[in-house]
Amino acid sequence: MSATNSRLWQQRYRDHAPEQGAFAADEVIATLLEHRSVRAYLDRPLPAGTLETLLAAAQSAASSSNLQVWSLLAVEDPQRKARLAELANGQAHIRQAPLFLVWLADFSRIQRQAERHDIDLQALPYLDSFLMGAIDAALAAQNAVTAAESLGLGTVYIGALRNNLQAVVDELRLPPLVYPVFGLCVGYPDADKPAQVKPRLPQSLILHRETYAVHPEEQRLIDDYDRTLIEFYAEQGQQSPGWSRQSLERLRTVAILHGRERLAAAVKAQGFPLR
Amino acid sequence: MSATNSRLWQQRYRDHAPEQGAFAADEVIATLLEHRSVRAYLDRPLPAGTLETLLAAAQSAASSSNLQVWSLLAVEDPQRKARLAELANGQAHIRQAPLFLVWLADFSRIQRQAERHDIDLQALPYLDSFLMGAIDAALAAQNAVTAAESLGLGTVYIGALRNNLQAVVDELRLPPLVYPVFGLCVGYPDADKPAQVKPRLPQSLILHRETYAVHPEEQRLIDDYDRTLIEFYAEQGQQSPGWSRQSLERLRTVAILHGRERLAAAVKAQGFPLR
């Protein structure tokens, strides 16, 4: 295990890395492990061709049956970014980032082909199609994130773009059979407000072998992780109640969904009955 | 534009790359662009620590509100792989790959914390939670794919793991609030049956700026792509009706879903009412 590998592991898990040979990190894997979500951007334009590069990376991700049921909508207009920020819980970094990407599940492209051939797409109303669009958009977006980071850019996903889905649909003039899965800010990170690598749950709590089994020491490991996260936030002068408390608060009430409780109604209105 | 960049673009789009400076491909981006789905594997074990490396990459992907609502189930037992292959439309590469990863949306971990504190997670029954689990699992899996490919391994996603979701739940003994999003084969590619980089739709059909607009030449561009894909398959001695015909067939009937039409019922039975 090289010093770099050991540092990358330590940074992600705040724990000793596995023994010699058990963890490899080449340049590509180091880029993945160094990921942090960036919420403060410089007012600096992106180099020409950045969007094309990110999109080429995104389209290189696997696509279910090669259907390519997603599209990418790039927003650079400051007024539109400001309106989208308002719709997404007022997140200032949406305004700040020079490029805001909206990842769309998109069955309208294939629906236009179906109409041309007078074919009824009977699989489309099922939940699996809705889900497939979201999965393929997510695989694509994650490749774009990796490409962006390798170019020295920062990103942050915006799930809150689903808070007011109908308003986002209207703002972006999305046709039927298209819905926004999430947003993504892209820009140069502001070095004065550096983002840190967030520690994650230990591998032993995420990984199951052969069949699912709850770890016999789950509670102790979660208690440890709670403390790790409290420490992590304290280092940045922030308070945190720990992972478990924070996560429980995030799922405790319908009010905290900030409108996402209307997601099913909104995607049904876009033509996905979720049968 | 370097010769490498030009080759990578040409390979992915079967079209001339954009002009000088408009497309950058460093080592990381080259790894992404070289992606191909591998369906033929060598009978060669993975180096020790591979799974830990892939999982560290996966956990480094963004997680919505850091909830980490996913788990990874690693299957190496040949009998279990064979049974899962049967459940997933008999895909032989599931048996062949030394490692089969099942990516799980998993709210059971946080639910156990909720029970400990006697808290009712009221946000959980909503569609957004179901979707968030799938998205976060997909972001994680795509990082694992990138890490695997940088290590010289091949992968292929198995969406057909949703064909018989209830049977997969039983086989893997998944508790309530857990569902399999997709599978992923991992192994050394068989160089005798090399996988090729699949050409994708042109960027102009995927990319929208500011608002959604159907490309005025969509049909011509799709006709071109249909021909590109027919050519691509012909090079490998295979027949294809082109992208549009193939995609229409994939969505035309309920029968082609091979059981995925029961997905909504199965995930509801796992505790996701999709409200």
Task: Report the DSSP beta bridge partners of residue B179.
Answer: B105
The segments of chain A whose pLDDT lies below 50 read none
The distance of B18 to chain A (nearest Cα, Å) reads 8
Residue matched to tokens 């009221």: B122
- Tens digit of each residue's pLDDT (9 = 90 or more) over B121-140: 999 999 999 999 999 999 99
For residue B28, give the nearest of B60, B46, B55, B4 by alpha carbon.
Answer: B4
The closest alpha carbon to A132, from B134, B130, B129, belongs to B134
CA distance readout (Å), B170 to A45, A75, B2, B8, B115: 52, 44, 52, 43, 24
Position with higher pLDDT, B17 vs A29: A29
| pLDDT band, very low/low/confident/very high, at B25 (cuts 50, 70, 90) | confident
Nearest residue to B214 via CA among A128, A46, A115? A115
CB-based contact (8 Å) between B118 and chain A?
no
Q: Is B220 on the interface with A (CB under 8 A)?
A: no
Note every long-range contact of B207-210, with CB atoms under 8 Å and residues 24 or more positions apart, other chains counting. Answer: B207/A51, B207/A55, B207/A71, B207/A72, B207/A73, B207/A74, B208/A71, B208/A72, B208/A73, B208/A74, B209/A73, B209/A74, B209/A75, B209/A76, B210/A73, B210/A74, B210/A75, B210/A76, B210/A77, B210/A80
Residue ranges of the domains in chain B? Answer: 1-34, 50-192+259-269
Chain A residues whose CB is inside 8 A of the B214 CB are 108, 112, 175
Tell me what pLDDT residue A96 has: 98
* pLDDT value, residue B23: 76
Given a contact cutoff of 8 angstroms between Cβ atoms, the answer to whether A94 and A88 are in contact is yes
How far is it between the farthest Cα atoms of chain A? Answer: 61
Q: Cα separation of A55 and A53, whole Å?
A: 5
Cβ contacts of A181 on chain B, cutoff 8 Å: 131, 135
The pTM (predicted TM-score) of the whole model is 0.98
CB contact under 8 A, B207 and A72: yes
Average pLDDT over residues B140-160: 98
Query: What's the mean per-residue pLDDT of chain B?
Result: 96
Q: Pick the range with the lowest mean pLDDT from B12-16, B164-168, B198-202.
A: B12-16
Could you tell me how many CB contacts below 8 A there are between chain A and chain B?
400
C-alpha span between A70 and A104 (Å, rounded): 5
Task: Write down the residue that tokens 């979500």 correspond to.
Answer: A37
Q: Is A233 on the interface with B (CB under 8 A)?
A: no
- What's the rounded mean pLDDT across residues B239-267? 97
ipTM above 0.95, yes or no: yes
Q: What's the N-to-C CA distance of chain A in angstroms?
A: 50
Percent of chain B with pLDDT over 70: 98
pLDDT band of residue B213 (cuts 50, 70, 90) is: very high
CATH number belonging to the domain at A50-192+259-269, selected among 2.70.98.50, 1.20.120.450, 3.40.109.10, 3.50.50.60: 3.40.109.10
Polymer length in residues for chain A: 275
A250 to chain B: closest CA residue: B65
Report CB contact under 8 Å: A62, B244: no
User: Are A57 and B198 in contact (CB < 8 Å)?
Assistant: no
Taking CB atoms and an 8 Å cutoff, what residues of chain A touch B243? 66
B267/A127 touch (CB, cutoff 8 Å), yes or no: yes
Q: Are residues A267 and B53, on separate chains, in Cβ contact within 8 Å?
A: no
Chain A positions touching B103 (Cβ under 8 A) are: none
Stretch 83-102 of chain B: residues touching chain A, C-beta under 8 Å: none
